[in-house]
């Protein structure tokens, strides 16, 4: 299928490894010009060199730096057509495991970074009458979990922001969607579950964990012209593990 992405200019946040990198690699393979960020220069530059991306060091948990990443990407690429919003994930634990400051940090990392990047990137897309925002969130936004209270709380806010914004910008040719990963094989999964990661397959109808490359391909489809009528949705990518209809 022709995705019509050649020459599109794409900024992908938090993309030296994992799902962000897979999204960047897949967009680059479709002929997009790509800029990526992460906090640490050496692995970022190594990742960027593998896919011909522009590396921009930024910690998106700082709203100012998150917005600057998008502005720098736009400058480096000569404009911006695609924004993939992403960040790391906060620590896991129950509601009393954290002081309020940890909640603030999680909101900075996964909610305010989303708002800051969109506020910087989306108005230009509206002006040029074409744009795509794809946010990488989490199934915890759909199904909050007791031991994942920080991510559940922050992702719910981000999802609400994205949904509200999607209704405002769609008439300008800008779609806004999010992908909600279930369990995918990445450094994050290894960090959270260690040697037990493989046993998570037991709770997934497909009997498999997600592959980052497949996730990247889904991002490219949402960015394509074919996806112009998909807007304002949060799509589970979890092998069918979520048990509900909505
Ligand atoms: P990962 O740890 O493999 O990769 C995260 C990437 O983000 C790395 O490139 C890292 O350098 C970068 N990063 C982290 N914090 C950053 C920051 N503050 N500023 C800039 N860059 C930063 O993680 P992943 O598995 O690819 O996860 C991506 C997102 O999806 C995370 O928010 C994660 O919580 C979420 N998620 C992942 C899974 C999964 O199974 N992998 C499941 C649910 C949600």
Cα(90)–Cα(101) distance, rounded to whole angstroms? Answer: 12
Q: What would the pLDDT profile of 59-77 be if each residue is shown by its tens digit?
A: 999 999 999 999 999 999 9
**Model pLDDT, residue 89:** 97
Supply the residue whose CA is at minimum distance from atom 6 of ligand 1. 14
Residue to mutate (ligand 1; options 65, 68, 87; most atoms within 8 A of CB): 87
Which ranges of the chain have pLDDT less than 70? none
Query: How many whole angstroms from 15 Cα to the centroid of ligand 1?
Result: 8
Q: Is the pTM of this model over 0.85?
A: yes
Atom of ligand 1 nearest to the CA of 65: 19
Residue 83 confidence (pLDDT): 99
Span from the CA of 24 to the centroid of ligand 1 (angstroms): 13
Q: Which residue of 22, 51, 58, 88 sits with most ligand 1 atoms within 8 Å of its CB, as the best mutation to test the pocket?
A: 88
5 C-alpha vs ligand 1 centroid, how far in Å? 25
What superfamily in CATH does domain 9-237 come from?
NAD(P)-binding Rossmann-like Domain (3.40.50.720)
213-218, long-range: CB within 8 Å, 24+ apart, which pairs? Answer: 213/22, 213/25, 213/26, 215/19, 215/22, 215/23, 215/179, 215/181, 215/184, 216/19, 216/22, 216/23, 216/24, 216/25, 216/26, 216/27, 217/26, 218/179
**Per-residue confidence (pLDDT) for residue 42, from 0 to 100:** 98
The confidence score (pLDDT) of residue 186 equals: 96
**Residue 168's pLDDT is what?**
98
Rounded to whole angstroms, the Cα distance separating 130 from 172 reads 7
> Which residues are bridge partners to 177 per DSSP?
134
**Phi-psi map region of 129: left, alpha, beta (phi>0 left; psi -120 to 50 alpha):** left
* 3-state secondary structure at position 95: coil
What are the pLDDT digits (tens) for 170-197? 999 999 999 999 999 999 999 999 999 9
Q: pLDDT value at position 73?
A: 99
Domain coordinates of the chain in residue numbers? 9-237
Dist. CA 59–CA 78, nearest whole Å:
22
Q: From the CA of 16, how far away is ligand 1's center (Å)?
A: 9
Ligand 1 binding site (Cβ under 6 Å of any ligand atom): 14-20, 37-39, 58-61, 86-89, 109, 136, 138, 181, 183-184, 186-189
With H, G, I as helix, E, B as strand and everything else as coil, classify residue 93: strand
Helix axes 100-107, 149-169, angle to 10 degrees: 30
């Amino acid at each position: 299928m022709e995705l019509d992405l050649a020459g599109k200019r794409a900024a992908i946040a938090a993309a030296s490894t994992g799902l962000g990198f897979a999204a960047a690699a897949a967009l680059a393979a479709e002929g997009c010009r790509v800029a990526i960020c992460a906090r640490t220069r050496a692995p970022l530059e190594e990742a960027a060199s593998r896919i011909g991306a522009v590396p921009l060091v930024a910690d998106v948990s700082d709203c100012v730096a998150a917005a600057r990443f998008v502005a720098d990407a736009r400058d480096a690429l000569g404009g911006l057509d695609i924004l993939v919003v992403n960040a790391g994930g906060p620590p896991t634990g129950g509601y009393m495991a954290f002081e309020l400051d940890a909640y603030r940090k999680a909101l900075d990392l996964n909610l305010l970074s989303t708002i800051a990047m969109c506020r910087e990137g989306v108005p230009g897309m509206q002006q040029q009458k074409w744009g795509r925002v794809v946010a990488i969130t989490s199934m915890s936004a759909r199904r909050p979990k007791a031991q994942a209270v920080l991510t559940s709380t922050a992702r719910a806010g981000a999802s609400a922001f994205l949904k509200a914004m999607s209704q405002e910008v769609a008439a300008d040719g800008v779609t806004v969607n999010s992908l909600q990963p279930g369990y995918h094989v990445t450094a994050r999964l290894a960090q959270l579950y260690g040697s037990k990661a493989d046993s998570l397959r037991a709770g997934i109808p497909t009997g498999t964990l997600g592959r980052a490359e497949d996730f990247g391909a889904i991002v490219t489809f949402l960015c394509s012209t074919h996806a112009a009528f998909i807007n304002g949705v949060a799509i589970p990518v979890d092998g069918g593990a979520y048990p509900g209809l909505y």
